Amino acid sequence: MKRRLIVLSSPSGGGKSTIARKLMKDYPDMMFSISATTRKRRPKETYGIEYFFLSREDFLRKMKNGEFVECEKIFGNYYGTLKNEIRKALDIGCAMLFDIDVKGALSIKRAFPNDALLIFISPPSIEVLRQRLTRRGTESEEEINSRLQRAAEEMSLAGEFDFTVVNDDLEMTYNEILGIVEGGME
C-alpha cells in the first residue's frame, strides 16, 4: 500500500529533525509539514520554514475553528498541524513528511489511517537522550528534566507506531528509515 504521509516522531533530542532534513534532501519533491506553534522563535529559525510562529490568540482561534488535525500544549506552548497543509499534499498526490511529537503522530494516524506511515525514533537510553539535550544547549536543566519525563511517556507509546528504530548510530538509523520510507511509498 502506498502511503503518502510519512510521520517521524521521537522524544525531544531523539534525532527526528536531523533525519527529516536528510530525507528532504533525498526526496526534494516531498513536501514538509510545517507545524504551527506559539513558542518563541529560536535563533536561526524562520517563519514558514521550521514553524508557523503564531500568537497565542491566533493559535487558539484556529483551534476553535477546527483548523488543526492535531494540536497539543507542550511545555507551556501550543503546537499543531494545519489541516489545509495536509490537504494540499494529498490533493496533488505528493508525499508529505512530518516531524512531530508522539501524540500528534498518533492523531495523524487516526485521521488518515490509509495514508500515514508512522516511524518512532527511539534514543538508545534516557541517559544518551540527556546528553544530547545538554549538548544542544537550548534548554535549562529544568526544561531538560521535563523533556526527559515526557520522553518516558512517549517511549511507552512506541508500540502504536508502524516501525520503531533505535537511533544509536545516525547513519545506520537513517539508512534503516530510508528503507522503510521507500518500502512504504511503493
> CATH number, domain at 107?
3.40.50.300
Using CA atoms, how far residue 164 sits from 52, 58, 78, 120, in Å, is 28, 35, 26, 5
Going by the DSSP 8-state scheme, the letter that residue 172 receives in this structure is H
The pTM (predicted TM-score) of the whole model is: 0.84
> The cell 477546527 sits on which residue?
66
pLDDT band at 142 (very low <50, low <70, confident <90, very high): confident
Residues contacting residue 112 through CB under 8 Å, at least 6 positions apart? 5, 69, 86
pLDDT in tens, 4-15: 999 999 988 788
User: What pLDDT does 124 receive?
Assistant: 85
pLDDT in tens, 75-104: 899 999 999 989 889 999 999 999 988 988
> Distance between CA 38 and CA 102 in Å, rounded?
18
> Distance between CA 79 and CA 94 in Å, rounded?
23
- Outline where DSSP puts E strands in 115-174: 116-122, 163-166
Number of domains in the chain: 1
Using CA atoms, how far residue 13 sits from 17, 19, 84, 123, 134, in Å, is 9, 12, 28, 8, 9
As beta bridge partners, residue 97 has 6, 32
User: What pLDDT does 186 receive?
Assistant: 62
Q: How many residues does the chain have?
A: 186
Task: Find the domain containing 163 and state its range.
Answer: 5-185
- Outline where DSSP puts E strands in the chain: 5-9, 31-32, 35-37, 51-53, 68-74, 77-82, 96-99, 116-122, 163-166
Sheet holding 35-37, edge to edge: 51-53, 35-37, 77-82, 68-74
